[in-house]
Amino acid sequence: MIKVDHAGENGAVNIYRAQRMIARVRSTTLIKQLDRNFDHEKTHRQIFDAYLQRNQIRKCQSYWACGIGGYTLGIVTGLIGPSAVAATTYAVEHVVLEHFEEQLAYLETHDDDAFNCVQQIIADEKTHHDEAKSQMNADLKLTKILISFVQFCTESVIRFGMR
């Protein structure tokens, strides 16, 4: 589970990395929030990386694909604009929070260290989700399509990594 979480955090780091790059030209009002989220996701990735190292577990097979996919998604949504940036964050975090809740229920009785890793970051992920939900234009057809697409991709990557 933590291998998949680590790969997902790599995807999130790269989504924000690309969105920050585009925001410097397209949406300068987003830079401060994107910088903060980027820093959170780098910390989350480090937390999971430390767990993998402590337990001598190799990275998930989807680690690099998540990074490339995240960067691509970040560029595209950054170019579309602020509502697409928010919709992407909302969609990813929605799936991630559901995934983490399922994990916590299992890990609570199976792996204290992994449980603590997930528990450390869930508040940040919830904050990202809630802020993005309030910032996106949920009534736009493009937003609805983007949310569905991003949620499908996020769920698919998780399923692929968990097999």
CB 64: neighbour CB atoms within 10 A?
Answer: 13
Query: Which of 35-39, 42-46, 60-64 has the least mean pLDDT?
Result: 60-64
Q: Is the pLDDT of residue 163 over 90?
A: no
How many whole angstroms separate alpha carbon 46 and alpha carbon 49? 5
What digits encode the pLDDT tens for the residues 47-77?
Answer: 999 999 999 999 998 999 999 999 999 999 9
Question: CB under 8 Å to 132, separation ≥6 — which residues?
Answer: 86, 87, 88, 89, 90, 93
DSSP state of 30: G
The 8-class DSSP code of residue 140 comes to S
What is the CATH topology of the domain spanning 2-162? Ferritin (1.20.1260)
The residues spanned by each domain of the chain are 2-162
Residue 9 tokens read as 């955090």
Place of tokens 């528990």: 119
The two structure tokens encoding residue 110: 């199976």
Among 49, 44, 41, 45, which residue's Cα sits nearest to residue 20? 41
Mean pLDDT of 82-110: 96
Identify which of 143, 128, 14, 151 has the alpha carbon closest to the alpha carbon of residue 74: 14
